[in-house]
Amino acid sequence: MDSLDHKQIGQKLRLFHLQAEAPGMVFWHPAGLVLVHAIEDAIRRQIAADGFVEVRTPQLVRRPIWEASGHWENFAGHMFAFGDEGREEALKPVSCPCHIEIVERLAPSYRDLPIRIAEFGLVHRDEDQGALNGLFRLRQFTQDDGHVFCEEEQIEEEVARFCRSLRALYAAFGLSSFSVFLSTRPARRVGNDDLWDRAELVLAAAARSANLEPEIQGGEGAFYGPKLEFSLRDRLGRSWQCGTVQLDFVMAERFGLSYIDSLGGKARPAMLHRAILGSIERFVAILLEHHQLALPGWLAPEQVRVLPISDEQAPYARMILETLQRQGLRASLGPGGQTLSRAIVDAHDAGVPLLAIVGKREAAASKVALRERDGAQRVLTLDAAAAELGMRSKPPV
Ligand SMILES: [Zn+2]
């Protein structure tokens, strides 16, 4: 069967739509938002385990902040800017400056470092309408953004922590093949060569300590620092750059951010920008094109569908449904008035990973026939089936 693209799958599974009146911005339908939340919840558990705290910062921020960050000068063409009582402001294209504003108010000392701040940052970028491409390129999207503020000697461990957590996380999404790149100093840059030497060495050492061998991408770093990039390979052999961790020599300086060092003086913290998935919306597109209609059970908007063979089993089927829903499973009841074979095909087309089929025999014995996507089927007691469904639908991360 030919592969469907994520827009076709999104329509088939009723996940989302896009329309001309809001170009590059997504209307998430109920099933799609379930998927988005399943992804975000997994990221939340990961970042909590990594010692991050979550924040939320303003959408509309005035010009002085974007001047300090350099966006007003370098990124103006991609920002949605407005006037507000004669003052200029813009929808945030990134969350970094807002995180700096929070850290500044913590007035940290060296004992507070590293400070790790994360945000599901809703950002807007004014992309050309011709460049928009489904969920791959939007004008409004959500970054799983995060920043680490630390002392220079803490950088290597912070980067290594980040690298170590990625392998299991990507594998949980069914994407276990990835490459790592180290993007080094570009021709146009700030900071002296000594600083860049140290920064590039630190990133390479951190990757190695997480058992990764980055390929060098000469000259591909940002002007303000080198970065590690993680490219996931999908079923079709395409690569998608998702994770990044980037050293930044510039922004803390531009905002005058400091901490009190162990001698009581002021020192400049190092800043790391990191994201595990990049854009959540784009990651949904990658997942859909990779898995097609067969998302892993823990991500499937509908995890199990209960199918009574005839109306006689409807009360028993409803009881099973309630048992599964009480367990936190995303379960539904198949539409009645269909042949079983039709109902199985429909459930398959709707991407439902597991079916709980009940006929006369199952109802009489308080049992249920569990059917897999590949057609394999086993009859279990209701308790055993509920336990197994619960286990198989649980997020692995
Ligand atoms: Zn950032």
What's the CATH number where 361 sits?
Answer: 3.40.50.800
The pLDDT > 90 percentage for the chain reads 88
Least confident span in 109-118, 192-201, 304-313: 192-201
How many structural domains is the chain composed of? 2
The rounded Å distance from CA 194 to ligand 1 centre is 24
This prediction's pTM: 0.95
Average pLDDT value for residue range 121-147:
96
The rounded Å distance from CA 290 to ligand 1 centre is 28
What pLDDT is attached to residue 1? 62
By C-alpha distance, which of 317, 298, 318 is closest to 359?
A: 317
Instruction: Judge if 278 and 313 occupy the same domain.
Output: no
By C-alpha distance, which of 100, 26, 34, 30 is closest to 295?
A: 34
What pLDDT is attached to residue 160? 94
Last residue of a domain, one of 291, 319, 339: 291
With respect to residue 73, please indicate whether it lies within any of the assigned structural domains.
no
By C-alpha distance, which of 273, 280, 279 is closest to 158?
A: 273
Instruction: Judge if 146 and 167 occupy the same domain.
Output: yes
| 47/52 Cα distance (integer angstroms) | 5
Instruction: Judge if 316 and 286 occupy the same domain.
Output: no
- The enclosing domain of 21 has a CATH number of 3.30.930.10
Task: Kindly indicate the confidence band of residue 337, based on its pLDDT and cuts at 50, 70 and 90.
Answer: confident
Instruction: Judge if 285 and 326 occupy the same domain.
Output: no
Average pLDDT value for residue range 137-162:
96
Q: Is 145 a catalytic residue?
A: yes
With respect to residue 69, please indicate whether it lies within any of the assigned structural domains.
no
Q: Is the pLDDT of residue 195 over 90?
A: no
Q: What is the pLDDT of residues 347-359, one digit of tens each?
A: 999 999 999 999 9
Least confident span in 1-10, 134-143, 266-275: 1-10
What pLDDT is attached to residue 142? 98
Domain that holds residue 115: 6-57+92-291
With respect to residue 143, please indicate whether it lies within any of the assigned structural domains.
yes
Last residue of a domain, one of 244, 265, 291: 291
The rounded Å distance from CA 272 to ligand 1 centre is 7
Instruction: Judge if 100 and 166 occupy the same domain.
Output: yes
With respect to residue 66, please indicate whether it lies within any of the assigned structural domains.
no
The rounded Å distance from CA 94 to ligand 1 centre is 6
The rounded Å distance from CA 95 to ligand 1 centre is 6
Q: What is the pLDDT of residues 67-94, one digit of tens each?
A: 999 999 888 899 999 998 889 999 999 9
| 44/395 Cα distance (integer angstroms) | 12
The rounded Å distance from CA 146 to ligand 1 centre is 7
| 245/260 Cα distance (integer angstroms) | 25
Instruction: Judge if 156 and 13 occupy the same domain.
Output: yes
- Compute the mean pLDDT over every residue in the chain, rounded to the nearest whole number: 94
Q: Is 197 a catalytic residue?
A: no
Q: Is 126 a catalytic residue?
A: no
Instruction: Judge if 245 and 183 occupy the same domain.
Output: yes
Instruction: Judge if 183 and 282 occupy the same domain.
Output: yes
Average pLDDT value for residue range 139-160:
96
Catalytic residue of the set 99, 139, 147, 305: 147
Catalytic residue of the set 46, 92, 96, 161: 96
Instruction: Judge if 193 and 331 occupy the same domain.
Output: no
Residues with a beta carbon under 5 angstroms from ion ligand 1:
96, 273
Task: Kindly indicate the confidence band of residue 44, based on its pLDDT and cuts at 50, 70 and 90.
Answer: very high
Instruction: Judge if 256 and 325 occupy the same domain.
Output: no
Q: Give the phi and the psi of residue 376 in degrees, each rounded to 5.
A: -60, 140
With respect to residue 297, please indicate whether it lies within any of the assigned structural domains.
no
Last residue of a domain, one of 249, 264, 291: 291
Instruction: Judge if 168 and 38 occupy the same domain.
Output: yes
Q: Is the pLDDT of residue 257 over 90?
A: yes
With respect to residue 197, please indicate whether it lies within any of the assigned structural domains.
yes
The rounded Å distance from CA 43 to ligand 1 centre is 17
Q: Is 266 a catalytic residue?
A: no
What pLDDT is attached to residue 191? 82
Catalytic residue of the set 273, 290, 291, 367: 273
With respect to residue 87, please indicate whether it lies within any of the assigned structural domains.
no
Average pLDDT value for residue range 188-199:
88
The two beta strands, 331-333 and 304-308, are: parallel
Instruction: Judge if 285 and 327 occupy the same domain.
Output: no
With respect to residue 150, please indicate whether it lies within any of the assigned structural domains.
yes
Question: The sheet that has 377-381: what strands, in order across it?
Answer: 331-333, 304-308, 354-358, 367-371, 377-381
Alpha helices (runs of H) in the chain, residue ranges in sequence order: 6-12, 30-49, 63-69, 71-74, 96-106, 155-172, 193-209, 251-254, 280-291, 314-326, 340-349, 360-364, 382-392
The rounded Å distance from CA 173 to ligand 1 centre is 24
